[in-house]
Structure 1
């Protein structure tokens, strides 16, 4: 590895040869505004310009002018205007942080001059006194509201993701990383220059995230499942940590610029810090919002394979190839625990949800559970079958492990084996358990990735780490669309038929209900008529006593009038008698008619009562018809809903396939 670094540095060409004398600088500290022309160029002239000038560009680099320095050398830029001194290749070599040191075969540049160079880089590499430093760059994470747990509402799932396959190969490479969302049915699988997202329940390919830097070596979701953190790169070339937003697939942050691959990376609970580790043996912690290096922790003596923040963000753990396992204070970078029980490489680490227990998987064939309060191992699980390559906690405190014996196993919170899954063709390298603890996804050395239900392990479904190109998947989608259209036509016809039957049933029910209501109304009307007739008869009967009394009085008047005639009645008296008798006759006629009317109303009321009974007898049959028609409507409604549901389900499939087709067509174009 050192020889590789040496070659890379040599190609950069920073051979700072020059005089051994130092240039006097300010007695204490660096100037308030450090510039290339006033402060840096004199240092370069003393130590570097002999080999790095316009006439003799060692490694393609000239630094005798500001413009030439900004162009960089044969391997690219050597300083950046973002104020990140640790990312500057120039600083790494002159400060002897990396090899080959500069100037070669000479003492290190004096501390006073190094302070000036550092201040110049941190100040934004200003050219002269009139230059202004650029504002520090922020990425999308700087504007994201932090979330430390289960999100409110539906968990984040992909909506519109890229479908283009960056690399197409006959077979996938060894599986380097598998991640599972903490709250959604979502699985992420690392491939060659890509990350493939699958629906955990259906194994449907949801999208492909490009990872142009190389191969992702680690995939971890943020605590709320909104982001995916990928660490990786290309061996001996470059290593980074990338953060993707799950719903859109957009990369919102790229942190780190390692000179070798990143084996593992993770974000803290608030997405404000990113920790990464790799062959450079340094645990580096960055500000996730602007990429600034916060801590460069040097405890490890070998390649760092595993890095993970505790769920509460208080601690960060790192494990290396020599069995070193260190827990750090995330806020300060101070060492918290040095855990030394493992006898082999630490390949994977995982935190329990409460942040009190850390699990570590090792080449020594064990998974150890560490109590963060006691600072010691509380359980050592002898997995068996050689090196344990992966370990992951679920929300229940269960553990899933992958080992070189081709076995993936599930353990309960006490370290007892619950289940063993179908073996992989070669050594199992990665494993993850879904958010609801119902499925396990795992992959091996051959690139085979599969997902299985915990309830029925023998049934597995393959997941492609390197999916077919968009053109091939487009053909499959078009075939699926053709099949769906064939299914949809009879379903549409059936739905229409059921709707027609439902409309007829509803009409029949409305008619039956109208008839039933009419029957009830007729009964009520008949009852009201009967009551009215009886009331009329009663009122007429109540008039008779007064009429009879009046008739008797009138009769007395008739008798008196007749007696008044005497033996020789005259015409006037006769007329009076006739009038009185006529009144009596009218009263008697009125009494007779009232009696007849009262009896007639009573007879009519009795008839109406009988009619009411006849009408009431028709209500129950009308009710029965309504019940029957309602049952008919219910049956028709159910049949229509079933037909509609079947139609809509297939229509939704067609809509989804149409959406996929559009995405794939866009990817091909």
Structure 2
């Protein structure tokens, strides 16, 4: 027997409500209506709400530490309102439908630290899916709540070429070759910087900065840094300048600006009592920011070195300083996990970005200036939306700590860490590739302008360049290169090998040029023949036109001549009749004159008729000759077309030979220039 609904053993309020609802439906609707309602409900996805779905999970795992009676970290999760309020570090969920930006999701999914719940296994997958679905569904409170339209976060990114200079990207032209310090091996890698537009990378060494071509791994030159060891290397937005921050611990710190083309130090700011850990220049090269152990973020006028203002909020060593690409903001991170964003023009605080549990070792801006990446010793890289101040992604980028992070022009990230790995991530934080493990912790990393190479250095001073397409394809770069005396021998060998390559290329270039000249002469001769032939055709056409004109005039004049001859004939007949039987001499003479005139007219008519016939024959003969001339012209023009193809092929061959020769000749010139610079360095 069925029990009354009021006495049914209901395990939860939700189940009881469902039972009551079902009873009401059965009492007031027909079976057909019930089936229709069921069919409709299957078309609409069930709402995931806080009260019905998320709170039971939180009750099971979280409320012992996060309730109104025990708000650890200032966070209570036992009510919807308390969860929306967040904790001591701010909000933990947002209504934008993006689970990846949610602090709650990052912790329960173990994407960030401290993992939750502490000292327990990760939540079961089905419970994690409920929490994720709740966030992506708009963090609804209950079944009566409505989700807001999803908003795009700052991960939406369109690559930009802003800052790219016009013309070829800047590359070194004549850099110094003298090595200030020669050691058996380099010290720990302190800084690596890659040009934003050129195949160029700068490596920090001991009292020097080495510049390498990233496509050939060739050492292009060595910039002196007499103040000590460069701790940071950043290129200007247009790639024309290199900004180096560094010095000597407890002695001196500066930021220097070098011209990439000449290697000349064009500016220097700062006179710190300790080394500079990081320095950067704004978009228009008017200001330089630097930071270091003195915990001061200092801003200088780049043109005259005047200190504009100090920013004193940091409580620990400032490891990282970076201007946004648009020059509006400047960010700084310190050893205690402090991360701040400042108004570049005024120095006023814009954002205090709390979230890291370890030192901020590196920061980087995305090209559009909307996203800031921060790498920390807590093992994460966080992506911050600087418009909202939210952490929109937290990436577990390496156990033991992340030491460096850089963006490329695609919005991808390259990271380095104490786990000895370098990794490449897409714009959403998905790992794309990683390098083989280095021998020690990787301290610095950069990615080339075309995203083809990752350059990284470790504690041992080893610097490697690894191809993104094949990370196992590695080339070694020396941060402390050999002295000029050792390198000049290699350059001389290079010169000799280039000269060996150059001779046959020169011979081939000369041969192809001769072939081109011969082909062009053949075309020129054919053009002269065609011109003569065209003149002959024009002459034939003129003659035909003259014959035709004469014939037409003759034919047109013939009726008049015939009519006159007929009149003369009638006159002759009349004169003959008038002679009678005994004409006198005068009458005979007159008659004879009339007959002679008639005869002359008839003879002229006969000549004109013969002329018409002859001109027709002449026209036909000239037309036949013209046709033959035209056919010959067509053949000559076809022959010329083939000759022109030969010329084009010869020109392509000559151009290719010239380019091959010019390329090797350029290599020879560069090698000779480098040899001269090395020779001067030795002296």
TM-score between both structures, scaled by the size of structure 1:
0.72
Q: 2:167 aligned with 1:156, yes or no?
A: no
Unpaired segments ≥5 residues, structure 2: 1-160
Alpha-carbon displacement from aligned partner over 1:145-173 (angstroms, at most 9, x marks no partner): xx983334443332332222222222222
Aligned residue among 185, 192, 197 for 1:183: 197
Structure 1 residues 446-461: aligned runs within 5 Å: 446-461=460-475
Structure 1 residues 12-411: aligned runs within 5 Å: 149-411=163-425
1:143 corresponds to? none
1:246 Cα shift? 2.2
Alpha-carbon displacement from aligned partner over 1:258-294 (angstroms, at most 9, x marks no partner): 1221111122333333222222233323333332333
Unpaired segments ≥5 residues, structure 1: 1-146
In 2: Cα distance, 1:272 partner to 1:205 partner = 30
1:492 Cα shift? 1.5
Structure-2 change in CA distance of 1:502 and 1:200 (3 Å): same
For the 8 Å contact 1:148–1:270, the answer to whether it is kept is no
In 1: Cα distance, 2:333 partner to 2:555 partner = 113
Indicate the larger mover: 381-390 or 546-555. 546-555
In 1: Cα distance, 2:251 partner to 2:269 partner = 16
1:443 Cα shift? 1.0
For the 8 Å contact 1:451–1:463, the answer to whether it is kept is yes
Alpha-carbon displacement from aligned partner over 1:411-435 (angstroms, at most 9, x marks no partner): 1222221110233232211001122
For the 8 Å contact 1:148–1:269, the answer to whether it is kept is no
For the 8 Å contact 1:495–1:640, the answer to whether it is kept is yes
1:576 corresponds to? 590
Alpha-carbon displacement from aligned partner over 1:49-105 (angstroms, at most 9, x marks no partner): xxxxxxxxxxxxxxxxxxxxxxxxxxxxxxxxxxxxxxxxxxxxxxxxxxxxxxxxx
Figure out how many residues of one structure are paired with residues of the other and give that number: 523
Indicate the larger mover: 296-305 or 159-168. 296-305
Alpha-carbon displacement from aligned partner over 1:130-189 (angstroms, at most 9, x marks no partner): xxxxxxxxxxxxxxxxx9833344433323322222222222221110011223332111
Question: The residue matched to 2:342 in structure 1 has which SS?
Answer: strand
Indicate the larger mover: 587-596 or 513-522. 513-522
Structure-2 change in CA distance of 1:656 and 1:585 (3 Å): same
Indicate the larger mover: 229-238 or 565-574. 565-574
Aligned residue among 602, 605, 616 for 1:591: 605
Structure-2 change in CA distance of 1:365 and 1:601 (3 Å): same
Q: 2:497 aligned with 1:489, yes or no?
A: no
In 1: Cα distance, 2:162 partner to 2:585 partner = 126
Q: 2:446 aligned with 1:432, yes or no?
A: yes
Question: The residue matched to 2:521 in structure 1 has which SS?
Answer: helix
Structure-2 change in CA distance of 1:208 and 1:595 (3 Å): same
Alpha-carbon displacement from aligned partner over 1:590-625 (angstroms, at most 9, x marks no partner): 222222222222222232233334334434433332
Structure 1 residues 463-478: aligned runs within 5 Å: 463-478=477-492
For the 8 Å contact 1:198–1:205, the answer to whether it is kept is yes
TM-score between both structures, scaled by the size of structure 2:
0.71
1:390 Cα shift? 0.8
1:119 corresponds to? none
Q: 2:455 aligned with 1:441, yes or no?
A: yes
Structure-2 change in CA distance of 1:293 and 1:565 (3 Å): closer
For the 8 Å contact 2:171–2:260, the answer to whether it is kept is yes
For the 8 Å contact 1:516–1:626, the answer to whether it is kept is no
Question: The residue matched to 1:289 in structure 2 has which SS?
Answer: coil
In 1: Cα distance, 2:346 partner to 2:613 partner = 111
Indicate the larger mover: 202-211 or 522-531. 522-531
In 2: Cα distance, 1:527 partner to 1:331 partner = 84
Question: The residue matched to 2:270 in structure 1 has which SS?
Answer: strand
Question: The residue matched to 2:554 in structure 1 has which SS?
Answer: helix
Structure-2 change in CA distance of 1:185 and 1:582 (3 Å): same
In 1: Cα distance, 2:211 partner to 2:462 partner = 15
Structure-2 change in CA distance of 1:396 and 1:556 (3 Å): closer
Question: The residue matched to 1:618 in structure 2 has which SS?
Answer: helix
Aligned residue among 429, 443, 446 for 1:415: 429
Structure-2 change in CA distance of 1:282 and 1:546 (3 Å): closer
Structure-2 change in CA distance of 1:370 and 1:606 (3 Å): closer
For the 8 Å contact 2:398–2:418, the answer to whether it is kept is no
Indicate the larger mover: 153-162 or 382-391. 153-162
For the 8 Å contact 2:492–2:675, the answer to whether it is kept is yes
Q: 2:547 aligned with 1:543, yes or no?
A: no
In 1: Cα distance, 2:347 partner to 2:581 partner = 152
In 2: Cα distance, 1:590 partner to 1:541 partner = 13
Indicate the larger mover: 367-376 or 431-440. 367-376
